[in-house]
Amino acid sequence: MNDCPFCRPEGLELVAELGTVYAIRDGYPVTAGHLLVIPRRHTPDFFSLTEEEKRDTLSLLDRLWREALASDPTISGFNVGMNCGLAAGQTIPHAHTHLIPRRDGDTPNPRGGVRGVIPERMSY
């Protein structure tokens, strides 16, 4: 797609590449080190990824996770996720997986993690 920012990786600063996917820094990071793993093929979300794209995504996430832990001793956890569709908060209609490093104290109460997408459902 012409207007898709993820369809032109040559214009982006790549952090890593593996097969059918590449990684960049998130343009609006939640925390320091927030990365996106993106398939080269334009496809809307996780459910449209091929098996090869899913494997490459998981392999690259695994590599990036290890590298982040090795390079930053303040990281004590991660959120990994995808927004699939407008109702889920997806703003760019090209599949991408977030790898968000977490640090002790980066939020007052992290309990519930990704449940925080609906704030009143975060605590349970």
* 89 within domain boundaries: yes
- Residue 68 is predicted with a pLDDT of 98
- Residue 120 is predicted with a pLDDT of 85
* 42 within domain boundaries: yes
pLDDT class for 1, splitting at 50, 70, 90? low
* 120 within domain boundaries: no
Pick the more confident residue, 90 or 122: 90
Question: How much is the average pLDDT of 65-70?
Answer: 98
pLDDT class for 122, splitting at 50, 70, 90? confident
Q: What is the mean pLDDT of the chain?
A: 94
- Check which CATH number belongs to the domain holding 48 and give it: 3.30.428.10
pLDDT in tens, 28-57: 999 999 999 999 999 999 999 999 999 999
b (16+ CB within 10 A) / e for 28-39: eeeeebbbbbbb
Q: How far apart are CA 112 and CA 76, in angstroms?
A: 16
Residue 109 in this model has a pLDDT that exceeds 60: yes
* 74 within domain boundaries: yes
Which positions are annotated as active-site residues?
Answer: 96
- Residue 53 is predicted with a pLDDT of 98
Which residues, including other chains, have CB under 8 Å from residue 2's CB and lie 6 or more apart?
none
pLDDT class for 11, splitting at 50, 70, 90? confident
* 64 within domain boundaries: yes
**pTM across the whole model:** 0.94
Phi and psi at residue 19, to the nearest 5°: 55, -115
* 95 within domain boundaries: yes
* 112 within domain boundaries: no
The structural domain count of the chain equals 1
Can you give the residue range of the structural domain that contains 57?
A: 5-107
* 60 within domain boundaries: yes
Residue 9 in this model has a pLDDT that exceeds 80: no
